[in-house]
Homo-oligomer: A and B are copies of this chain.
Amino acid sequence: MTSIKDVARTVGVSTATVSRALRGLPRVSEETRLRVLQAAADLDYVASPSAAGLATGQTRAVGVVVPFVSRWFYGEVVQGADTPLRDAGYDLLLYNLGGDRQTRRRVFGTHLSSKRVDAVLVLSLTPTDEELAWLTKLDRPVAVVGASVPGWSSVRIDDEATACIAMKHLLALGHRDIGYIGGSLEDQLDFAAPFDRLLGYRRSMSHAGLSVLPQWEAVGNFTVRGGLAAMRLLLESEPRPTAVFAASDEMAIGAVHAVREAGLRVPQDLSVIGIDGHEMAEYFDLTTVAQPVHEQGRLAAQLLLDVLATDREHAKQPSAVTVPTRLVVRHTTGPPAS
């Protein structure tokens, strides 16, 4: 493994000079810099992140905490965050929680060490008090996508308002009996979105002077399969809703499937709307309220980089960015059968 000494020896300067030249620091003559650069390239020299990290306290890596890498939304956000981070010279350390609470505790408690990362990007989940304490103890910049935590930068949609957009569409079509498919109680603890979207549903109903029946609020776990199961229940409920608002496109896709499976037509017999703008939504002809997913990852990474580039003393207030969502009308929604 070639080290900085090899480069220094080759060029005939000290390691201090090599270090300065390679990192573009001032106080190196242009001629020396060129020779160092050349030698480093010839020798395939790359500074050891461990050694540099030990000397500076910086790791040039940011931790990205993801509930499930394999879900479209998170993959897309990571993809969005990747480019700016990579461009700024940071590596991404992926902390996949994989859904179960035990792994989640282990990841936050032991893997996610401040000695490993310069900053943390938390995707879509609301840290528990314990996790909040751990993250705070890290004493590193944190940015959150899809939730907001006081004191940290965040990028998210307005979940309640987004739910209202979906509901407004259904109400405008003339629906009065509207069901809801959302997360489980546990989802509501871990994630901010489920609760806010449920709130948007309830508020929209009551603003329209409609009452919500308990059997119209079904649990879909934010998966296709869950949405399918939830819709089966809703189809049995009395009275049966004429439209269903699912808090995610994946659940909406499952819901549409359940309706058709029951021999009913979408949207003639039952309308379905989702939230997300999932890449597959178009191919299911799904009406949805789309959010800019990739963009949220990009923005959050940018916020983190801004903080990282600023010295602590000049630190600005954390920014809380809300990105807009927009209704995309396709053909899973229509007026209720009269």
The yes or no answer to A36 lying at the interface (CB within 8 A) is no
Point out the residues of chain B lying under 8 angstroms from A68, CB to CB. Answer: 79
A79 touches B96 (CB 8 A): yes
User: Is A29 an interface residue when CB atoms closer than 8 A count as contact?
Assistant: no
Within 8 A of B (CB), among A288-330: 294
Of A111-119, A200-208, A240-248, the one with at least 4 CB within 8 A of chain B:
A111-119
The answer to whether A283 touches B50 (Cβ under 8 A) is no
A109, chain B: closest CB distance, angstroms: 10
A57's nearest neighbour on chain B, judged by CB, is B1
Residues of B near A82 (CB, < 8 A) are: 69, 94, 96, 98
A98 touches B69 (CB 8 A): no
Residues from chain B with Cβ under 8 Å of A47 in the complex: 115
Specify which chain B residues have a CB less than 8 angstroms from the CB of A57 in the assembled complex: 1
Q: How many residues of A contact B (CB 8 A)?
A: 53
Task: List residues of A (72-110) whose CB comes within 8 Å of B's CBs.
Answer: 72, 74-76, 78-79, 82-83, 86, 91-96, 98, 103, 106-107, 110
In the complex, the answer to whether A283 meets B91 with C-beta atoms within 8 Å is no
CB distance from A23 to the nearest CB of B (A): 14
Interface: A156 (CB within 8 A):
no
Tell me if A137 counts as interface (CB < 8 A to partner B): yes
Give bound CA distance, A268 to B96, whole Å. 43
A49-B50, A50-B50, A51-B54 are contacts. A92–B86 as well, Cβ < 8 Å? no
Given the known inter-chain contacts A48-B115, A70-B76, please indicate yes or no for A94 contacting B280, CB distance below 8 A: no
In the complex, what residue of chain B is closest to A56 when comparing beta carbons?
B50
A265 within 8 A of B: no
Is A59 located at the chain interface by the 8 A CB criterion?
yes
Chain B residues contacting A130 (CB-CB under 8 Å) are none
When C-beta atoms are compared, the residue in chain B nearest to A82 turns out to be B96
**Contact of B96 with A93 in the complex, beta carbons under 8 Å:** no
A114 touches B283 (CB 8 A): no
Assuming A78-B69, A280-B253, is B96 touching A111 (CB within 8 A)? no
Residue of B nearest to A46 (CB): B113
Taking a contact as CB atoms closer than 8 A, the residue among B70, B93, B106 that contacts A72 in the complex is B70
Of listed A54, A70, A83, A254, residue having the most chain B CB within 10 A: A70
Known: A280-B224, A280-B280. A78 touches B96 (CB 8 A): yes
A residues with CB within 8 A of B: 1, 44, 46-51, 53-54, 57, 59, 61, 64, 68-72, 74-76, 78-79, 82-83, 86, 91-96, 98, 103, 106-107, 110-111, 113-116, 137, 224, 253-254, 257, 279-280, 283-284, 294
